[in-house]
Amino acid sequence: MAAIVVADVVGYSGMMERDEAGTLARVLALRTQLFEPAAVSRGGRIVKTTGDGLLLEFPSVVRAVDAAIFVQEQLAAWPYAGEPLMLRIGIHLGDVMVRDDDVFGAGVNLAARLEQAAEPGGVLISNTVFEQLAGTGGEEFVDGGVRHLKNISRPMQTWAWRRSGPQTSPRALSPGRKPSIAVLPFENPSGDPDQDFLADGMVEDLTTKLSRFHWFHVIARASSYAVAEQTSDLVELGRRLDVRYALEGTIRLSRDRVRVSTQLVDAGDGRLVWADRFDGILDDIFDLQDEIVRSIIGEVVPQFIAIYRTTADAPQRSTSFASWESAMRGWNVLWRLQGPEDVLEARALFEDALEKDAMNTLAHCGMSVSFSNPYYHAQLVRDVERAEESARAALAIDDGDAFAWCALGIAELYGNHHDSAEHHLKRAVSLNPSLALAHTYLAALYCFRPDSRGTDKWAESARLLSPVDPYMPTLNVSRAMARFGEGDYAGALAVADEAILDAPKLQSAWRVKSASLEILGHSDEATQAMNHALSLGPLTMTWMRTEGTPFADPEAWATYLGALERAGAPD
């Protein structure tokens, strides 16, 4: 058992390119003047060095952690000429094998992966190390989250140390820029050049499809490839391309099967944001490639948006970036699907974004959806006119924005203008076939016609595009309502139960369940379902008649309202 410390110089490749002699001198001094004294004085040793990194071994966790923090604190105040150095350090405790004074084993591999995930200037340790620090300095570490470390099968709980005092944020972006994303060349471990075409095609499609989203800038494939050929250091790559996020992956072929592993990395500090794996059959390479691309887009976009959560200590940025960030946070809140307070909070964030930058189309679209009120919260009054106004404001800025056409279609849907809503939602799909939100609301549109086949078709395409999308639970509500409108009450009940399993707090699912049970003659169960719906939030028949979106068939809508009233919905 040994405590293994792995350290790496951040941005080493770029520094070598800019000043080779000076960088080598500073790194050598770092090793001889800081690391060696720190290790020897604590009973440890430098096992080996690479151009930009070191591997150290210590007899105890306490000594290893103490040495790492000592080096980081000393380095921050270290007087030297030239470009300053920053380190990432990872520490793990585990079994190692020693041979010819070198060390091998899983403990070394895990320490190396922790180093890659550490923040510049910081130390990242495993939970095993943290548990050994009880009462000896572990309080200096904060929860670093559960990490999916590269090539490590199981997620790992981590703990992070960061130097106190002013620091240069590793995630700083160029003033006035939205965060960017670069799709890097996918690896082909087989080495078979005939398989390179699949990897290149995947990157090309991902870059094209991501570029259709106006929420962030996507770096052209040629630029990503050119820089990736010069450096494998993601932090350095991020600096050169001026991107915040990098999407990388690996493709493996085995007979008639293909496996694609992908991960989204914060290029500011090398932190892994998200990772997943996709498997398929190689019957039709083009269909399979499109399926994988849709799946990755569906995973990446929600993960990307989820990063922008409201924080009390959000850094001050340029006006346009601050506006963009407020809009992103607004969408994150809006997608909680919890209650009316979320709609109001999101609306306040969109208003803040527009105060900072009136040309922010993402904020205009968010404002539009918030006033369309597709959540059916009885405490809120829908304002379709305001919703359309906000959507058209976004289109006036950029009439090629698929998201703006989608927002307009949503507003028209809830204003009962089904034909124009269909036209504009399908226009959004033509501009961006990967925009799952447009597919979701086309499913809703067909539900109100009602047309269960059309609803099922668009609901399925939305699921394929974005399987982890927060809007997914509403798809089954649309499918249930379509069946109710067609008179298939048993089918409506079955699908409503599916919706409730996915989202037990979604009141609209309980409403259609209650109405279906009432029509089927199960009055007691219908009343119980209605009582549960009422426990989730206020609901009145007056609100349903004035704010609810009716079926195109007036008789079907009257049947639905009558069933709700008999089940116990108050006036």
Q: pLDDT per residue over 362-391, tens digit each?
A: 899 999 998 986 554 556 678 899 999 999
Average pLDDT, the chain: 80
Q: What is the pLDDT of residue 305?
A: 64
Q: In angstroms, what CA-CA distances link 389 with 16, 358, 537?
A: 54, 14, 29
Could you tell me the pTM of the whole model? 0.58
Please, are residues 561 and 541 in contact by the beta-carbon 8 Å criterion? Answer: yes
Q: What mean pLDDT comes out for the span 88-110?
A: 79
Q: Which is higher by pLDDT, 190 or 359?
A: 359
Q: What is the pLDDT of residue 492?
A: 96
What is the strand order of the sheet 245-254 is part of? 217-218, 180-183, 245-254, 257-266, 271-281
Give the helix, strand, coil percentages of the chain, each rounded to 5. 55, 15, 30
340 lies in a domain? Answer: yes
Q: Does residue 344 carry a pLDDT above 80? A: yes
Q: What is the pLDDT of residue 101?
A: 63
Q: What mean pLDDT comes out for the span 526-555?
A: 90
What is the strand order of the sheet 87-94 is part of? 45-49, 53-58, 2-9, 87-94, 122-126, 156-162, 142-147
Q: Does residue 402 carry a pLDDT above 50? A: yes
170 lies in a domain? Answer: no
**156/187 same-domain check:** no
Most confident of 169-178, 407-416, 497-506: 407-416
Residue 139 CA to residue 153 CA, distance in Å, equals 28
DSSP letters along 161-217, please? EE--S----TT---TT---EEEEPPPB-TT--GGGHHHHHHHHHHHHHHHTT-TTSE
453 lies in a domain? Answer: no
Q: Does residue 490 carry a pLDDT above 90? A: yes
Domain boundary among 243, 278, 306: 306
Q: Does residue 476 carry a pLDDT above 90? A: yes
Question: Helices 452-465 and 436-448 meet at what angle, rounded to 10?
Answer: 170
Q: Which is higher by pLDDT, 314 or 51?
A: 51
What's the total number of domains in the chain?
Answer: 4
224 token code pair: 């990503």
Q: What is the pLDDT of residue 176?
A: 40
Residue 159 CA to residue 145 CA, distance in Å, equals 7
CATH number at residue 524: 1.25.40.10
**301/341 same-domain check:** no
Alpha-carbon Rg for the chain, nearest whole angstrom, is 28
Q: Does residue 571 carry a pLDDT above 80? A: yes
**207/75 same-domain check:** no
Give me the domain span that covers residue 563.
464-571
> Which residue in 543, 410, 384, 369 sits closest to 533, CA to CA?
543
22 lies in a domain? Answer: yes
**240/198 same-domain check:** yes
For residue 517, name the pLDDT band (cuts at 50, 70, 90). very high
CATH number at residue 227: 3.40.50.10610
In this structure, of 64-73, 279-288, 491-500, the range with the lowest mean pLDDT score is 279-288
Residue 149 CA to residue 454 CA, distance in Å, equals 42
Q: Does residue 174 carry a pLDDT above 50? A: no
Q: What is the pLDDT of residue 178?
A: 56
Q: What is the pLDDT of residues 193-236, one digit of tens each?
A: 767 777 877 787 777 777 766 666 777 666 677 677 777 777 77
**387/360 same-domain check:** yes
Q: What mean pLDDT comes out for the span 33-55?
A: 84
Q: Residue 287 is which amino acid?
A: D
Q: What is the pLDDT of residue 49?
A: 84
Residue 336 CA to residue 471 CA, distance in Å, equals 9
456 lies in a domain? Answer: no
Q: What is the pLDDT of residue 163?
A: 67
> Which residue in 291, 290, 296 sits closest to 277, CA to CA?
296
Report the share of the chain in percent with pLDDT over 90: 27
Please, are residues 404 and 434 in contact by the beta-carbon 8 Å criterion? Answer: no
**11/132 same-domain check:** yes
**153/199 same-domain check:** no
Q: What is the DSSP letter of 98?
A: E
Q: In angstroms, what CA-CA distances link 427 with 121, 380, 422, 438?
A: 48, 29, 8, 9
CATH number at residue 120: 3.30.70.1230
Q: In angstroms, what CA-CA distances link 126 with 57, 135, 159, 160, 297?
A: 16, 17, 6, 9, 31
